[in-house]
Structure 1
């Protein structure tokens, strides 16, 4: 594929390898990058509180984790036969209040422990548009289908966003000074906000990250807008990147942020993944039994070197 524009990307000073531990937080594009890391069996923790789009909510969940600010029943509400929490995604909502509380506080403890040992924190920012719940005056991470009239919509300014990200960096580096934070802005356009409003939002996010001292920035949004600027790289909704685009951006991330020494192991992991997905014509044949034995040996060899891998 010939490209009219090539977005420059700086190589990471501390690339990810199989000794790394990566915490991935943020918008739906974080799920794609985090999913790739999981696919290749890197040690990673992906969005323990579900997809979170805006920077204040990401900061707040990190703060609650590290300050052991556990959730209580007062943080929950009941709607449409489920219990919800405004600080997290609806994927965590539950029919049982006590189960939801246990899950939320377990995720806080897990996140705090992971941050203390992590080598990399990858934050994907989705939007600068936020919703403030009128009853409490607090910003929310997810509206959970509460009627829109209950919220006031606001656009976070660049200095406010930078402030949240600076506070987040101070919190995590207080417990883990060597942690490398990588920021990126999601290439998913929030067109429900409006075309101009989406651009304003992304501009605020990008400008805020570039005011941070020592910030590492990976240009996911720019890659989508300037290298893959064609609707053939979008899904049916014409908003979300399709598999071709996701793989392309991943390859650029891999080239800049994953250690070259990890590539041979990634190839071995992918061979195993493909082998496990293989469907034989004759499961009882000698050829298939030999194939399974070879596959098990490959898994054994990988786990011998990397015991944390799970297939």
Structure 2
């Protein structure tokens, strides 16, 4: 008896292995997938400007990176003794204006470096709703709790999203013509926009992505559809009933691996998982013989992995 409908998947042509370089950009769900890739020690850069929810914000970051635009004091503002930039997430905010500007420019530089060498660019869009600053007429990536009276809220149309995607793709291809794009739509529900408005937003994103898909170099991974169609039960949501819980993230990650992670690295991921579990182990008797033997074995596993993959960095237990 089948108790759920399953989305059919097939292996991608350009799968990911440990020689590949990744760039992950987008919503908080990209952080979930990025955390999994980081856990398994894949090489890449994730959200250098923090979480970005909509296509125009991601396009602007890539544009600044490719064109080597520099942030200056005109791009930041002070609010409640903190300095912010409308192009970045609040996690980059800083009490020092100079430090914030430096961090912004370092993020743009890192993005450019990664764009040039990336084998895969993975972009997760969260919403098609955007906020436009009424004084500058610019769409912002984050409002930073600035009063809503300073913004107008707009829904990007399918054509707007499509044109932004085309510009983003062209910018990346101008510095890296062989890169593989993986677009996905976040399953996180943006119910502050409204139930109907959230679905409309997701529909605009999905429709636009499917108008730019290329059989070889631009693909779509159905994160949103997996949550809506396979995991269509509230037990797969966190307490806020908006975000996928750990079980749901693990399930979607397994499907991502099924499509995008090369079969040849599965055994390496298993060994890395053993190491990561070992590093999290807390002994009842740290000085005991059994634990010392365990640590010796763990260091041996790390040394073995690093012989083949020297870029992998593990926080070794102290002797």
Distance in 2 of aligned mates of 1:13 and 1:101: 40
Q: Does 1:125 align with 2:125?
A: yes
Distance in 2 of aligned mates of 1:279 and 1:205: 45
CA contact (8 A) 1:31 1:46 kept: yes
Match of 1:292 among 283, 291, 295: 295
* 2:310 alignment counterpart: 307
* 1:231 alignment counterpart: 234
CA RMSD of aligned residues (A): 1.0
Counting only pairs closer than 5 Å after superposition, residues 70-219 of structure 1 correspond to structure 2 as 70-214=70-214, 215-219=218-222
* 1:246 alignment counterpart: 249
SS in 1 for 2:49: coil
CA contact (8 A) 2:213 2:219 kept: no
* 2:62 alignment counterpart: 62
CA contact (8 A) 2:44 2:114 kept: no
TM-score after normalising by structure 2: 0.96
Distance in 2 of aligned mates of 1:40 and 1:106: 26
Pairwise CA distance, 1:213? 4.0
CA contact (8 A) 2:213 2:220 kept: no
Distance in 1 of aligned mates of 2:312 and 2:297: 18
CA contact (8 A) 2:83 2:96 kept: yes
CA contact (8 A) 2:15 2:261 kept: yes
CA contact (8 A) 1:3 1:227 kept: no
The 4+ residue runs of structure 1 with deviation greater than 6 A are: none
Match of 1:261 among 261, 264, 275: 264
Structure 1: where are the runs of 5+ without partners? none
Pairwise CA distance, 1:250? 0.2
CA contact (8 A) 1:59 1:165 kept: yes
Distance in 2 of aligned mates of 1:199 and 1:189: 9
Q: Does 1:33 align with 2:33?
A: yes
Distance in 1 of aligned mates of 2:160 and 2:311: 39
Structure 2: where are the runs of 5+ without partners? 315-319
Pairwise CA distance, 1:49? 0.5
> Structure 1 residues 201 and 22 mapped into 2: Cα distance closer, same or farther (>3 Å)?
same
TM-score after normalising by structure 1: 0.98
CA contact (8 A) 1:11 1:256 kept: yes
Q: Does 1:9 align with 2:12?
A: no
> Structure 1 residues 142 and 233 mapped into 2: Cα distance closer, same or farther (>3 Å)?
same
CA contact (8 A) 2:54 2:128 kept: yes
